[in-house]
Amino acid sequence: MFNMSFTDEQKDLQKMVREFAQKRVFPQAKELDRAGVFAGDLFNEIFQMGLHCMNQPEEYGGPGLDSVTCALLIEELAKGDVGFATTIAANGLAAYPVILAGTDEQKKRFFEIVDHGKLAGFCLTEPNAGSDAASIATTARLDGDEYILDGSKCFITNGGVADVYTVFATVDRSKGLKGLCAFLVERDRTGVSVGKKEDKLGIRTTSTCDVIFQNVRIPITNLLGEEGQGFKIAMETLDCSRPVVGALGVGLGQAAVDMSIKYAKERVQFGKPIAAFQAIQFMLADMAIQVEASRWLVYRAAHLKDAGQPFTKEAAMAKTIASDTAMKVSVDAVQIFGGYGFSREYPIEKLMRDAKILQIFEGTNQIQRMVIANQLFK
Ligand code: CAA
């Protein structure tokens, strides 16, 4: 039974984050996007609000928000700037391997870093291991009571600004996914460096970089879970995080709808506001339907997770519909704005650019459909 109503605490948090996103994040987004820089000041502000790592458990100093509340808040941040919201979402993504598989001591160490207003990065992807996450080439070689990490990760969200990483590497490539392991790696270890910064189409306000591990020695106590559990930890992490990507899409889609409604009421052609024309009304109605349907699938997946029920299929569905919707409605918004939608002076073209990555990262929407189909046949 899915009976969703929000608590007063959830509504208060939502209001607070909405105001922050509208008054602080949105007004800076255009310039930051143009410059392609990470908003350090805004990050400090959300750190002061205690919401920079939303899933950080209360016993380790965080807000310990459940997934439904995270979805509500990420949606609000995304209405302000999807890049900034992605930075916060990726902090939570990087924390999940520690939350899911870490010992008490590992959680204390990881969240002590995060607690100092620092960011984390999830290092799974490599140049030849994207959708095929099991073909990771970064190696972890045991040497006494240390592992030595060697390899390069790419497209790492928060890569250039993180102080701690969760890293996936193989102890034996011949074992395929059974050789994968997850590690906690502090940024200040010798041999960890940040490589190329991506010059991206969208989410330009988030840091996306290569992260390189060259002969990096980490204590055996940095292994999360057991040797060979890395792939399972990565998959479970992505399950947890996909509703959050869905929430990014819902926020972006809602922003596109809201801006389009306002513009349609103001823009006069043929002697009346374009909102009076059925061609525009039907487009807006379709956009609103799709965003609302996405929102409830995101809540549904998050609710199942919070209730401790299976949610792999619903998480993939939520991510897919919400990101496809974000793409579709942002293109429609550009159409409603016409030439102004195509101009960089208006905030609409940025929505369209930001939407594209949501169909790609944390598993392309083709991979999501594989995950969903696998679950349907179980
Ligand atoms: N939870 C727990 N275990 C899982 C699981 C899940 N959701 N999914 C799979 N597994 C386990 C299976 O049980 C199986 O274990 P056993 O062998 O012990 O039975 C094992 O993993 C292999 O499962 P499959 O055979 O189903 O795996 P597959 O190889 O056929 O498919 C895949 C895997 C779904 C394609 C997977 O590789 C995948 O999700 N790829 C996409 C990776 C991805 O999302 N990358 C994004 C990078 S992160 C990112 O974008 C971050 C960023 O910075 C924004």
- The response to whether residue 165 sits with its C-beta less than 6 Å from ligand 1 reads no
Residue type, 322: A
- In the reported structure, the alpha carbon of residue 239 is separated from the centroid of ligand 1 by a whole-number distance in angstroms of 9
Residue with the smallest CA separation from ligand 1 atom 19 is 232
Polymer length of the chain: 378
Could you list the active site residues? Answer: 362
pLDDT of residue 343: 97
Read off the pTM. Answer: 0.97
In this predicted model, what pLDDT tens digit does every residue of 256-273 receive, in sequence order? Answer: 999 999 999 999 999 999
pLDDT of residue 2: 55
- In the reported structure, the alpha carbon of residue 313 is separated from the centroid of ligand 1 by a whole-number distance in angstroms of 12
In this predicted model, what pLDDT tens digit does every residue of 237-255 receive, in sequence order? Answer: 999 999 999 999 999 999 9
Q: Which of 167, 209, 232 to mutate for ligand 1's pocket (most ligand atoms within 8 Å of CB)?
A: 232
Tokens matching residue 48: 């002061």
Q: Judging by DSSP bridges, how do beta strands 208-219 and 223-224 pair with one another?
A: unpaired
- In the reported structure, the alpha carbon of residue 134 is separated from the centroid of ligand 1 by a whole-number distance in angstroms of 8
- The response to whether residue 125 sits with its C-beta less than 6 Å from ligand 1 reads yes
Model confidence at 5, pLDDT cuts 50, 70, 90, reads confident
Which atom of ligand 1 is found nearest the CA of 178? Answer: 17
Of 75, 82, 73, residue with least CA distance to 49: 73
In our burial notation (b when 16+ CB lie closer than 10 A, e otherwise), range 168-202 reads bbbbeeeeebbbbbbbbbbbeeeebebeeebebeb
- In the reported structure, the alpha carbon of residue 235 is separated from the centroid of ligand 1 by a whole-number distance in angstroms of 4
Which atom of ligand 1 is found nearest the CA of 239? Answer: 7
- In the reported structure, the alpha carbon of residue 70 is separated from the centroid of ligand 1 by a whole-number distance in angstroms of 23
In this predicted model, what pLDDT tens digit does every residue of 325-375 receive, in sequence order? Answer: 999 999 999 999 999 999 999 999 999 999 999 999 999 999 999 999 999
In this predicted model, what pLDDT tens digit does every residue of 49-108 receive, in sequence order? Answer: 999 999 999 999 999 999 999 999 999 999 999 999 999 999 999 999 999 999 999 999
Residue type, 104: D
47 Cβ contact list (under 8 Å, min separation 6): 117
pLDDT of residue 3: 61
Tokens matching residue 110: 């990881």
**Average per-residue pLDDT for the chain:** 97
Which atom of ligand 1 is found nearest the CA of 93? Answer: 51
Rounded distance, CA 305 to CA 243, Å? 10
Query: In degrees rounded to 5, what are phi and psi of residue 161?
Result: -120, 0
Residue with the smallest CA separation from ligand 1 atom 48 is 362
In this predicted model, what pLDDT tens digit does every residue of 17-28 receive, in sequence order? Answer: 999 999 999 999
- The response to whether residue 372 sits with its C-beta less than 6 Å from ligand 1 reads no
In this predicted model, what pLDDT tens digit does every residue of 365-378 receive, in sequence order? Answer: 999 999 999 999 98
* pLDDT for residue 1 is more than 60: no
